[in-house]
Structure 1
């Protein structure tokens, strides 16, 4: 696997050097200028570079690889909590600091993300556009509230780093689950380039570029320079917010575990000590025999979840029958989340357990944003 990647780099060293320089320039611009700018202010209209067929293929790939894509997004949601500026906003708005508020916030996030992948983008009256406008307005309100309480505006940098959370791990880590479909990578990053634009990210800060090669360079440098260091030095606020996130979402999937899910996330970000397989090292790195393995700090249940989960996605997910089975399980979890969230009903009561983003007539339910817990 690594040999193949090395040979590819050798075939076009000059081109790679230029692209790496461009990626570095992208990151410098994002961290310096992107931290000073808020929402792009662009109208909620499709960008001029939108490719309808590529976008639709990206939506189809979400259905085809639903299990691993949702797993990657969950790891991304956890990783985002390691970014100080984003964590400050979340703590300020107090929408995900407890098990209950995290349950409602992240279930809404799941529902909006599903809407973007399953609703027709070509129909301006579809739930895709209703959802997109609702989230954009919520971001605007959160940014104003965050500024008032001293946490700062939701910047272009924050938006792009959050965008990584949804797209980074599944694309950069595709080879680790033997997913070598280049069209999947092209189409999926185009979908999130479009979604990022509609959510107010300027093209110069959008972590998804004009094609997969450009996107890969941007994603990789953000992983190396931002996420790996951040996840290597997590603090108590990160663990507290992650615990709230996982314990909240446990109500829709009892296989979620704080220890195991943090392990999955840090492994995907190449944090030292979280390697499980021999290919969990970057191509330019070698195993350090003195490095402690944090796998053995996990309890037996978390170890089982890690071993079982990694075996499934690494060796079995490539088979159509297995993939369909686990996609069906995700569908089943979503079905109960929507119609019968029994664990949430037991703990939070019927009224609070049911989360909706649309009213029965199709209108959006606005996302409440305030400085008090729900």
Structure 2
């Protein structure tokens, strides 16, 4: 199923017509339509919450759906690894971030913990149960769709954007897109889905790469509290390394992890310098495509050729803590191990166990938030908070050292 099928239940009649039309479009034409004002101005649902009715679109194929479910569980650890940097990347889309900030349900570690654990448990429900009226997956999708209607309406009333068809599609990219484009980075053996890959490539190059190069206000706070919140059920989550990996996966200039990436970047910098002195910096934005979203205020980030002679001299890498560098190394080891049969079996088991523990026995969260507050019900909204997110500049200042227990746990 092509990328146009990802928002299947967010408007069946309209999406059915759109799917038939998109079959005649090129990836470029489809992307341009997705980036249009009409796509953003079209809410995820045009009905009132009281009138919401959910039904499967006419093109739904249960056989293919179940095949997709089996494929997910066959590589569930890899897909889980896709979702974390994808979720970080979503915060870089200004219109999505605006609605999340407006909802006031994920701006602290506790509320982020509740909201994003629920997100993973919703995905688990969709992929563990038949998509039929009355099933857990059906009720879960209905709950998510209802919240999109409520949050979209609240954002519009506050003049803070909306939950649009375009942003739902961009969010779905965050869920799966990096795995489609770079399966080897996650140990996923992929089927041939060229149409989807072409669209995902355009979304990465013209939305996520420029957005992560020029992040909107509150990105740092919202992304980092999500990562810190998820740490309560996944000790592998570490903000510095995950932020670096996200930007590396999104091809943000300067965030290199391998010798091959370093050499390619040096070649690009030399081409831009065109014989000029090496002390002249190259604006990172000149190495990527212009954003297809509305432009925001931009401050140039200069890259200097001399800083990329070795991986150890890469400025963004040098800023990382020892724990972050350790996590980066560990992620490569885990991916290499996951590509083996034994590794896939063991790490899939680990992922399934982690999901089970987060749902039924989130023991680390017990110590942070209390036993009662640590359990997540996917059919209940996350709590509303009174605090406001910090501006990005607060995170660019020198940060206090992490507590000793967090440093030790980072090396687990």
Sort the TM-score into its range (normalised by shorter chain): 0.7 to 0.9
2:246 aligned to which of 261, 265, 271: 265
- Scaled by the length of structure 2, the TM-score of the pair is 0.72
Deviation at 1:69, TM superposition (A): 0.3
Question: Which residue number in structure 2 is paired with residue 146 of structure 1?
Answer: 155
Confirm whether residue 334 of structure 1 aligns to residue 355 of structure 2: yes
Contact 2:121–2:359 (Cα < 8 Å) also in 1: no
For the pair shown, which has the larger CA radius of gyration, 1 or 2?
2
- Scaled by the length of structure 1, the TM-score of the pair is 0.79
Deviation at 1:22, TM superposition (A): 2.1
Matches of 1:107 and 1:347, distance apart in 2: 15
Deviation at 1:312, TM superposition (A): 2.1
Q: Assess, with a 3 A threshold, how the Cα gap between structure 1 residues 181 and 152 changes in structure 2: closer, same or farther.
A: closer
Contact 2:111–2:384 (Cα < 8 Å) also in 1: no
Provide Cα deviations, 1:15-48, integer angstroms capped at 9, x if missing partner. Answer: xxxx9x8222222221222111112449522222
Question: Which residue number in structure 1 is paired with residue 120 of structure 2?
Answer: 110
Matches of 2:186 and 2:259, distance apart in 1: 13
Deviates more, 1:334-343 or 1:249-258: 334-343
Matches of 2:374 and 2:380, distance apart in 1: 17
Gaps of 5+ in 1: 1-18, 186-211, 358-364
Question: Which residue number in structure 2 is paired with residue 367 of structure 1?
Answer: 381
Count of matched residue pairs: 319
Q: Assess, with a 3 A threshold, how the Cα gap between structure 1 residues 306 and 287 changes in structure 2: closer, same or farther.
A: farther
Deviation at 1:316, TM superposition (A): 2.3
Deviates more, 1:274-283 or 1:96-105: 274-283
Question: Which residue number in structure 2 is paired with residue 323 of structure 1?
Answer: 344
Question: Which residue number in structure 2 is paired with residue 229 of structure 1?
Answer: 210
Pairing 1:94-105 to 2, within 5 Å after superposition: 94-105=104-115
Matches of 2:324 and 2:265, distance apart in 1: 30
Question: Which residue number in structure 2 is paired with residue 303 of structure 1?
Answer: 325
Matches of 2:240 and 2:76, distance apart in 1: 23
Deviation at 1:267, TM superposition (A): 1.2
Deviation at 1:354, TM superposition (A): 0.8
Question: Which residue number in structure 1 is paired with residue 40 of structure 2?
Answer: 35
Confirm whether residue 355 of structure 1 aligns to residue 376 of structure 2: yes
Provide Cα deviations, 1:95-129, integer angstroms capped at 9, x if missing partner. Answer: 110001000000111110110111112x3221011
Confirm whether residue 25 of structure 1 aligns to residue 66 of structure 2: no
Name the Cα RMSD after superposition.
2.7
Contact 2:102–2:160 (Cα < 8 Å) also in 1: yes
Contact 1:73–1:167 (Cα < 8 Å) also in 2: yes
Deviation at 1:144, TM superposition (A): 0.8
Greater RCO, CA 8 A, separation 6+: 1
